Structure 1
Amino acid sequence: MGLNLHVQGRIGGGTVIVARGDLDYGVADRFRACVEQALQPPPGALYVDLRLVTFVDSSGLGALVSAHKLAERAGSRLVLESPSEALLRTLRTAGLVTLFGLPPA
């Protein structure tokens, strides 16, 4: 399916990346590049809206971890918004919920 990315400002501050489709090997580098661009200049927080993401593989998880690290280095904070229950299960299985400040169960 691919991945569509849209960057926009957020009322009250910060920047939002709205992702739609599959976050997988084929688009992980493009996602990272989008995050890098959205962090110039660093917003107080970078929100990644995941409500329309239908699939995430290990490369996609790696891209989310990279996004977290990029935001930290930029002095910003990465917030994952509206992950599906399937994505939450994947993040829990991978031991990543704490990294992203998501509920453990």
Structure 2
Amino acid sequence: MTSTYSGDGAGLTFRTGDLPDGLRLAVGGEIDFQSAHVLRARAAGPAADPALARLVLDLTDVTFCDSSGLGALIALHKTRAAAGGRLELAHVPAPLRHLLRITNLDEVFTLIDEPV
């Protein structure tokens, strides 16, 4: 299933897929000041669902992420932890991986590269 949100200049795309023990949410576009709230809103339900063992954000198609985007990812991580689950970031693009590394958030998030 694919949905696109382009209001307020956000331009994010989302695709969902079931995993044996959770949900995969593929995100595409720029996660910035104008779109971070869209990511948070779109992923809030699954992030808070205690029935999901895993929530995997597939970031293959993310082209940019700023501090607002990092804030959205941190908020989703906290929501997942409160629900007793985990948030995994899959296929993190090199610039975002570098940003996670220099902010030490690579120690907070589970980063995966294998197919999901």
TM-score range, shorter chain: 0.7 to 0.9
Q: In 1, distance between residues paired with 2:14 and 2:83? A: 21
**Normalising by structure 1, what TM-score?**
0.88
Which residue in 2 is equivalent to 1:71?
80
Count matched residues.
Answer: 102
Work out the CA distance in 1 between the residues paired with 2:18 and 2:38: 20
Structure 2 counterpart of 1:15: 23
Give per-residue Cα distances to partners, 1:29-84, cap 9 Å, x unaligned.
11111221223533101000001101001100100111100100111100000001
Following TM superposition, the consecutive aligned residue runs of length 4 or more in structure 1 with deviations greater than 2 angstroms are: 39-42
Question: Which residue of structure 1 lines up, in the alignment, with residue 35 of structure 2?
Answer: 27
Query: 1:1-105 counterparts in 2 under 5 A?
Result: 2-10=11-19, 12-39=20-47, 41-42=49-50, 43-102=52-111
**Paired residue secondary structure (1:47):** strand
Unaligned runs of 5+ in 1: none
Unaligned runs of 5+ residues in structure 2 are: 1-9
* Alpha-carbon spacing, 1:58–1:46, altered in 2? closer, same or farther (3 Å): same
- TM-score between the two structures when normalised by the length of structure 2: 0.80
How many angstroms does 1:6 deviate by? 2.2
Higher strand share: 2
